Amino acid sequence: MTDLKIPNLDMNTNKYIFKKKLSLRRKSKRRLFMESALMFSFSLFLVYINYLIPNKSMLLQNLLTTLKRSFILFIDLFSNLSEIFLVIFIFISYFISLILLIGSFYRIIKVIKRKTRIISYK
Protein backbone atom coordinates (compact mmCIF):
# COMPACT_ATOMS: atom_id res chain seq x y z
CA MET A 1 0.00 0.00 0.00
CA THR A 2 2.92 2.31 0.47
CA ASP A 3 3.70 1.95 -3.25
CA LEU A 4 0.38 3.52 -4.17
CA LYS A 5 0.93 6.83 -5.94
CA ILE A 6 -1.87 9.30 -5.39
CA PRO A 7 -2.00 12.19 -7.84
CA ASN A 8 -1.29 15.61 -6.46
CA LEU A 9 -4.58 17.43 -6.02
CA ASP A 10 -2.86 20.75 -5.50
CA MET A 11 -3.54 22.43 -8.87
CA ASN A 12 -2.10 25.82 -7.91
CA THR A 13 1.17 25.02 -9.69
CA ASN A 14 -0.56 24.54 -13.06
CA LYS A 15 -2.09 28.00 -13.32
CA TYR A 16 1.30 29.56 -14.13
CA ILE A 17 2.25 26.93 -16.68
CA PHE A 18 2.69 29.31 -19.65
CA LYS A 19 3.84 32.37 -17.78
CA LYS A 20 7.48 32.06 -18.80
CA LYS A 21 6.65 31.54 -22.46
CA LEU A 22 4.70 34.79 -22.91
CA SER A 23 6.55 37.87 -23.95
CA LEU A 24 5.57 40.56 -21.49
CA ARG A 25 7.87 43.20 -22.94
CA ARG A 26 6.52 46.15 -24.83
CA LYS A 27 7.45 46.59 -28.45
CA SER A 28 9.89 49.37 -29.13
CA LYS A 29 8.77 52.53 -30.91
CA ARG A 30 10.97 51.66 -33.86
CA ARG A 31 9.39 48.23 -34.25
CA LEU A 32 5.87 49.69 -33.97
CA PHE A 33 6.75 52.31 -36.59
CA MET A 34 8.15 49.67 -38.95
CA GLU A 35 5.05 47.50 -38.58
CA SER A 36 2.73 50.45 -39.21
CA ALA A 37 4.78 51.51 -42.26
CA LEU A 38 4.58 47.95 -43.62
CA MET A 39 0.81 47.86 -43.10
CA PHE A 40 0.43 51.25 -44.77
CA SER A 41 2.50 50.24 -47.80
CA PHE A 42 0.58 46.96 -48.15
CA SER A 43 -2.74 48.83 -48.03
CA LEU A 44 -1.52 51.28 -50.72
CA PHE A 45 -0.43 48.32 -52.85
CA LEU A 46 -3.91 46.76 -52.56
CA VAL A 47 -5.58 50.06 -53.47
CA TYR A 48 -3.31 50.36 -56.52
CA ILE A 49 -4.16 46.82 -57.65
CA ASN A 50 -7.88 47.62 -57.31
CA TYR A 51 -7.33 50.80 -59.31
CA LEU A 52 -5.83 48.79 -62.18
CA ILE A 53 -8.93 46.55 -62.54
CA PRO A 54 -10.99 47.81 -65.50
CA ASN A 55 -14.80 48.09 -65.49
CA LYS A 56 -15.25 47.73 -61.73
CA SER A 57 -18.73 49.24 -61.75
CA MET A 58 -19.93 46.91 -64.51
CA LEU A 59 -18.51 43.90 -62.64
CA LEU A 60 -20.32 44.90 -59.48
CA GLN A 61 -23.59 45.47 -61.34
CA ASN A 62 -23.44 42.08 -63.06
CA LEU A 63 -22.52 40.18 -59.91
CA LEU A 64 -26.02 38.82 -59.24
CA THR A 65 -26.56 37.62 -62.80
CA THR A 66 -23.11 36.01 -62.83
CA LEU A 67 -23.83 34.20 -59.57
CA LYS A 68 -27.19 33.04 -60.94
CA ARG A 69 -25.61 31.68 -64.13
CA SER A 70 -22.86 29.92 -62.22
CA PHE A 71 -25.44 28.34 -59.89
CA ILE A 72 -27.38 27.06 -62.92
CA LEU A 73 -24.17 25.60 -64.39
CA PHE A 74 -23.42 23.98 -61.05
CA ILE A 75 -26.86 22.33 -61.02
CA ASP A 76 -26.35 21.16 -64.62
CA LEU A 77 -23.05 19.61 -63.62
CA PHE A 78 -24.70 17.57 -60.89
CA SER A 79 -27.54 16.54 -63.18
CA ASN A 80 -25.02 15.27 -65.74
CA LEU A 81 -22.83 13.67 -63.09
CA SER A 82 -24.87 10.46 -63.18
CA GLU A 83 -24.20 10.13 -66.92
CA ILE A 84 -20.49 10.71 -66.35
CA PHE A 85 -20.38 7.99 -63.69
CA LEU A 86 -22.31 5.66 -65.99
CA VAL A 87 -19.77 6.14 -68.79
CA ILE A 88 -16.90 5.57 -66.34
CA PHE A 89 -18.62 2.38 -65.16
CA ILE A 90 -18.98 1.21 -68.78
CA PHE A 91 -15.26 1.70 -69.46
CA ILE A 92 -14.21 -0.02 -66.23
CA SER A 93 -16.57 -2.95 -66.82
CA TYR A 94 -15.25 -3.42 -70.39
CA PHE A 95 -11.69 -3.41 -69.07
CA ILE A 96 -12.47 -5.92 -66.32
CA SER A 97 -14.38 -8.19 -68.74
CA LEU A 98 -11.41 -8.08 -71.15
CA ILE A 99 -9.06 -9.15 -68.36
CA LEU A 100 -11.43 -11.96 -67.33
CA LEU A 101 -11.78 -13.20 -70.94
CA ILE A 102 -8.03 -13.26 -71.43
CA GLY A 103 -7.60 -15.10 -68.12
CA SER A 104 -10.25 -17.69 -69.00
CA PHE A 105 -8.75 -18.34 -72.44
CA TYR A 106 -5.31 -18.69 -70.85
CA ARG A 107 -6.63 -21.28 -68.37
CA ILE A 108 -8.44 -23.20 -71.11
CA ILE A 109 -5.27 -23.32 -73.23
CA LYS A 110 -3.26 -24.37 -70.18
CA VAL A 111 -5.70 -27.22 -69.47
CA ILE A 112 -5.70 -28.39 -73.11
CA LYS A 113 -1.90 -28.39 -73.40
CA ARG A 114 -1.43 -30.41 -70.19
CA LYS A 115 0.74 -33.42 -71.09
CA THR A 116 0.20 -35.65 -68.10
CA ARG A 117 -2.97 -36.84 -66.50
CA ILE A 118 -1.44 -36.69 -63.02
CA ILE A 119 -3.16 -34.05 -60.94
CA SER A 120 -0.80 -32.44 -58.53
CA TYR A 121 -2.15 -30.61 -55.54
CA LYS A 122 0.20 -27.92 -54.36
CA distances to 26, 88, 104, 113, 121 from 109, in Å: 85, 32, 9, 6, 19
Report the pLDDT averaged over residues 106-115: 84
Nearest-angstrom CA–CA distance, 59 and 66: 9
pLDDT (tens digit, 9 = 90+) per residue, 38-81? 999 999 999 999 999 999 889 889 999 999 999 999 999 888 99
Nearest-angstrom CA–CA distance, 120 and 79: 56
26 — pLDDT class (breaks 50, 70, 90): confident
Query: Residue 27's Cα: distance from chain center in Å?
Result: 38
Mean pLDDT rounded to a whole number for the chain: 83
Range 29-37, long-range pairs (CB < 8 A, 24+ positions): none
Question: Has residue 4 got a pLDDT over 80?
Answer: no
Could you tell me if 69 and 63 are in contact, meaning their C-beta atoms sit under 8 angstroms apart? no
Question: Has residue 9 got a pLDDT over 80?
Answer: no
Percent of the residues in the chain that have a pLDDT greater than 90, as a whole number = 49
Nearest-angstrom CA–CA distance, 83 and 87: 6
CB atoms within 10 A of CB 59: 11
Question: Has residue 117 got a pLDDT over 80?
Answer: no
What is the amino acid identity at position 16? Y
Q: What is the pLDDT of residue 82?
A: 87
Q: What is the pLDDT of residue 110?
A: 84
**How many residues are recorded in the chain?**
122
Give the residue with greater pLDDT, 69 vs 5: 69
